Copies of this chain bind each other. A is one copy, B any other.
Amino acid sequence: MEIKVLKDILGANDQMAQNNQQLLDKHNVFAVNLMASPGAGKTSLVLETIKGLGGKVRTGVIEGDISSSIDSKKIAQEGAPVVQINTGGECHLDASMIRNALDNLPLADIELLLVENVGNLVCPAEFNLGEHRKVVVSSVPEGDDKPIKYPAIFLIANAVVLNKTDLLPYVKFDAGKFCEAVRGVNRKVDIFEVSCTTGDGIDRWVSWLLAQMGRK
């Protein structure tokens, strides 16, 4: 019974995700779904990405949170169009929430849409949003065993961004072990080591993003 209902929900979500992608494609908007634990640095990565793009790509943002508009205020300060979704308890974004957000974004004026999912390394993996790429943000203080403990989300990722590398001297974290664990789940995924605090590695991540969009 429970499973049946879940299947129905996921089926309906996939349908709506396809509709979202059609709408995005119609406006030539490339959408990226950023998924991570709470506090891994998704918002900082959004901010550094916008800075790193240096105005080359017009970027919009959807901020997903259970509660508050702290993050969307930070984005708005950068001058990017942003819509805040408060899920009110839901542990993930779904396609219907994204559809509502798209209706409130100036799609004709955007080329790249960064979607910050709810901080959760489990549930967002199950819900397609209509995005073109899925990216997992992991962070050094979380430990190098996360891909082993939360394999599903690493499995579906097109890229993994390892954030907070500036903290490597202060915590027990083996970057080689982390990459090996990621590749154990997802052999081909691209991995980027960055620090949103120092800016290290952001250029490589931004280059990847531009290449995925078919831009230089």
Q: Given that A89-B152, A139-B141, A146-B38 are contacting pairs, would A122 and B66 also be in contact in the complex, using a CB cutoff of 8 Å? A: yes
Let me know if A148 and B37 touch, CB within 8 A: no
Any B CB within 8 A of the CB of A1: yes
Any B CB within 8 A of the CB of A91: yes
Give Cα A38 to B36, complex, Å: 9
Any B CB within 8 A of the CB of A81: no
- In the complex, what residues of B have CB within 8 A of residue A151's CB? 66-67
Let me know if B91 and A149 touch, CB within 8 A: no
Least distance between A33 CB and chain B CB atoms (Å): 17
- In the complex, what residues of B have CB within 8 A of residue A70's CB? 145, 148-149
Any B CB within 8 A of the CB of A103: no
Interface size in chain A (residues, C-beta < 8 A)? 37
Q: How many copies does the complex hold?
A: 2
Minimal Cβ-Cβ distance residue in B for A9: B2
Let me know if B89 and A91 touch, CB within 8 A: no
Any B CB within 8 A of the CB of A106: no
Interface string of A1-38 (1 = CB under 8 A from B): 11001000100000000000000000000000000011
Least distance between A165 CB and chain B CB atoms (Å): 12
Any B CB within 8 A of the CB of A171: yes
Let me know if A143 and B5 touch, CB within 8 A: no
Least distance between A97 CB and chain B CB atoms (Å): 15
Give Cα A212 to B119, complex, Å: 31
- In the complex, what residues of B have CB within 8 A of residue A5's CB? 1-2, 5
The 9 closest A-B pairs by CB, nearest first: A39-B142, A141-B141, A91-B122, A37-B38, A39-B143, A38-B121, A37-B37, A68-B148, A91-B123
Q: A89-B152, A139-B141, A167-B167 are in contact. List 18 more A-B contacts (CB 8 A).
A: A2-B9, A5-B5, A37-B39, A37-B119, A37-B142, A38-B142, A38-B149, A39-B142, A67-B148, A67-B150, A68-B145, A89-B122, A119-B150, A120-B121, A122-B123, A123-B123, A141-B164, A171-B197
